[in-house]
Amino acid sequence: MKTVLCFVAMCVALTASRDPTETYPRTAVLDSKLQIFWKFNATHITIETHLSAGGWTGLGLTSNASESSDVIIGYVEHNKGVIADYHYAGHQPPTKDASQDVTLVYAHSDNEGSVMVFVRALDTGDIQDDIAIHPGINHVIWAYTEIDPTNLAYHDVHRGGADIKLLDKCQPSVGK
Ligand code: HEM
């Protein structure tokens, strides 16, 4: 299940059915229905998620997905987005962090699925529940559901993990 994904230097739509809201330097296809695009600067990462389904989207960082992960879960319904910062102990519903360290900056939904753009600090400073994003390989986990986004239901087979080079040391893009 663990896949090594190479980031692409230019924003190339690999299987996406829609274009991202702006040109991002990085993208990864996590699943036939889930693609992410991202950019970063010295302090923050901006991530755009494209889900070709009607449920919630979850994206997280982990050292061990069965034990402890830092996840962000969001959904868009009637163009209104909802997002939150969670702690996922594995195989059970995640719990919301006391410190909410994610900001939703764009949300869109239509009959093709949903798009969210959110920003978080590379290191939120929440040592209780968050994992800092570091240069090089980060183990990313993802999950989604196909329907009923407001219900944080079990993802079933729609989950996975990937080793992704989220950041590198050369030429970070400017702006949040
Ligand atoms: C809605 C609450 C959630 C429940 C009830 C839940 C439950 C479960 C269960 C029972 C499994 C083991 C069976 C299987 O492989 O499907 C599992 C695995 C997994 N879940 Fe979740 N999960 C939830 C949310 C999430 C979220 C938000 C993510 C990621 C952002 C995630 C990522 C994973 C991954 C990567 C696995 C496979 C690796 C492993 O077995 O630990 N889950 N989950």
Residue 53 CB–ligand 1 contact under 6 Å: no
pLDDT, tens only, 66-106: 679 999 999 999 999 999 999 999 999 999 999 999 999 99
Give residues with Cβ within 8 angstroms of 174, minimum separation 6.
41
pLDDT, tens only, 127-157: 999 999 999 999 999 999 999 999 999 999 9
The answer to pTM > 0.85 is: yes
pLDDT, tens only, 19-46: 999 999 999 999 999 999 999 999 999 9
Residue 73 CB–ligand 1 contact under 6 Å: yes
Taking the centre of ligand 1 as the mean of its atom positions, its distance from the CA of residue 159, in whole angstroms, is: 7
3-to-31, 141, 156, 161 alpha-carbon distances in Å: 11, 11, 19, 7
Domains and CATH numbers, the chain: 3-167 (2.60.40.1210)
